[in-house]
Homo-oligomer: A and B are copies of this chain.
């Protein structure tokens, strides 16, 4: 077969079952879906091979399976099925790491802009970190959401995204809101001489996406927020390939995969798979915020977004989820400058949105002087 897709799973073993036997069951489940005694001669070609098994301690083991990447083709839906489709219905199987063969990666275009391209879109010529503000909350009229965009842009944020829950509500319908926010940011940019990039939330019934894309293009928007798991990774890949927009990925639904003993490691799901789907920047819940997320997962995710991965461009890590402005300088020392800090709620807890943004923007810029 062509170079194998090597996938390492951490397995919780039922009492009495050996790690080798459990790994073999997994290999069958994810490819031929037959017990060994029912696999006919001639069907072994695409059966996953157990390459390594390592006991980690009582009842726990690591197993590395080698899949023929032709099984999934160049298809992220098929890849998800191959990696974790049926086995999601079991217990105690966590996908820990993937070693990607180059010829599989070559089928995916990946991020259109990547870290360098997104910095250029924001007019940032140094290697500094970026600040992304958020216009919110759901329920406000478009005019007020736009006013908030203007404050944040004047304050010096590099980007402003819609809250991901604001799609097309009656209080701020998509076309109206996007036009108002884009205009408010353009006005602020003209005043500051800076470049703040608007990242509107692109979702909706599948049939409306082409029209919404047209709206964004007509307004001159250059980026959009997408939620790859609710939308489907192939839908996002199509947007990355055809929309011309830089894509920010929201981790909505992803937490369902993050149980300690069953699921997919965040760095694989948000790091590898979202990057392969073409996301230029990937939002994740940073430690110390309001979501539980291990620091080790954050670090691994950042590394996966940037590490060599075929010819795919690196993507920005976007720590968010309740980041306190006062902690940003400390986080920056840890994350490095290829980072977009996403700060929403805490700017709205401050008495003055413009001033709070300006202070935070200075801290983000200053941290990498």
Chain B hits for A262, CB < 8 A? 256, 259
In the complex, A84 has a CB within 8 A of chain B: yes
Contact of A80 (CB < 8 Å), options: B31, B87, B253: B253
In the complex, A24 has a CB within 8 A of chain B: no
Whether the pair A165, B348 counts as a contact (CB closer than 8 A) is no
Within 8 A of B (CB), among A71-88: 71-78, 80-82, 84-88
Chain B hits for A206, CB < 8 A? 232, 234-235, 237-238
Give the interface residue-count category, chain A: 35 or more
Whether the pair B34, A348 counts as a contact (CB closer than 8 A) is yes
Instruction: Write the chain B residue with the least CB distance to A285.
Output: B89
Whether the pair A84, B256 counts as a contact (CB closer than 8 A) is yes
A33 and B253 contact, Cβ closer than 8 Å, known pairs A169-B73, A230-B232, A345-B38: no
In the complex, A97 has a CB within 8 A of chain B: no
Closest CB in chain B relative to A207 CB, distance in Å: 7
Chain B hits for A47, CB < 8 A? 137-139
Contact of A139 (CB < 8 Å), options: B46, B73, B75, B349: B46
Closest CB in chain B relative to A82 CB, distance in Å: 7
> CA separation between A171 and B45, bound complex, in Å?
9
A254 and B88 contact, Cβ closer than 8 Å, known pairs A45-B139, A81-B203: yes
Whether the pair B345, A34 counts as a contact (CB closer than 8 A) is yes
A136 and B32 contact, Cβ closer than 8 Å, known pairs A88-B253, A206-B237, A238-B207: yes
Whether the pair A205, B32 counts as a contact (CB closer than 8 A) is no
In the complex, A167 has a CB within 8 A of chain B: yes
Q: Mark A263-280, 1 if CB is under 8 A from B, else 0.
A: 110000000000000000
Chain B hits for A292, CB < 8 A? 89-91
Whether the pair A85, B164 counts as a contact (CB closer than 8 A) is yes
In the complex, A16 has a CB within 8 A of chain B: no
Whether the pair B164, A73 counts as a contact (CB closer than 8 A) is no
Identical chains in the assembly: 2
| Interface residues of chain A: helix, strand, loop or mixed (majority) | loop
In the complex, A58 has a CB within 8 A of chain B: no
Contact of A35 (CB < 8 Å), options: B40, B170, B259, B345: B345
In the complex, A39 has a CB within 8 A of chain B: yes
Closest CB in chain B relative to A6 CB, distance in Å: 18
Closest CB in chain B relative to A70 CB, distance in Å: 5
Contact of A40 (CB < 8 Å), options: B74, B86, B140, B170: B140
Within 8 A of B (CB), among A166-212: 167-171, 203-208
In the complex, A37 has a CB within 8 A of chain B: yes
Instruction: Write the chain B residue with the least CB distance to A254.
Output: B88
Whether the pair A89, B232 counts as a contact (CB closer than 8 A) is no
Closest CB in chain B relative to A107 CB, distance in Å: 9
Closest CB in chain B relative to A170 CB, distance in Å: 5
Closest CB in chain B relative to A216 CB, distance in Å: 17
Whether the pair A231, B77 counts as a contact (CB closer than 8 A) is yes
Top 8 nearest A-B pairs (CB, nearest first) are: A232-B232, A88-B255, A85-B252, A32-B137, A89-B255, A43-B139, A77-B230, A206-B234
Q: Which residues of A contact B (CB under 8 A)?
A: 30-35, 37-40, 42-47, 70-78, 80-82, 84-91, 136-141, 144, 163-165, 167-171, 203-208, 227, 229-235, 237-238, 250-259, 262-264, 285, 291-293, 321, 344-345, 348-349
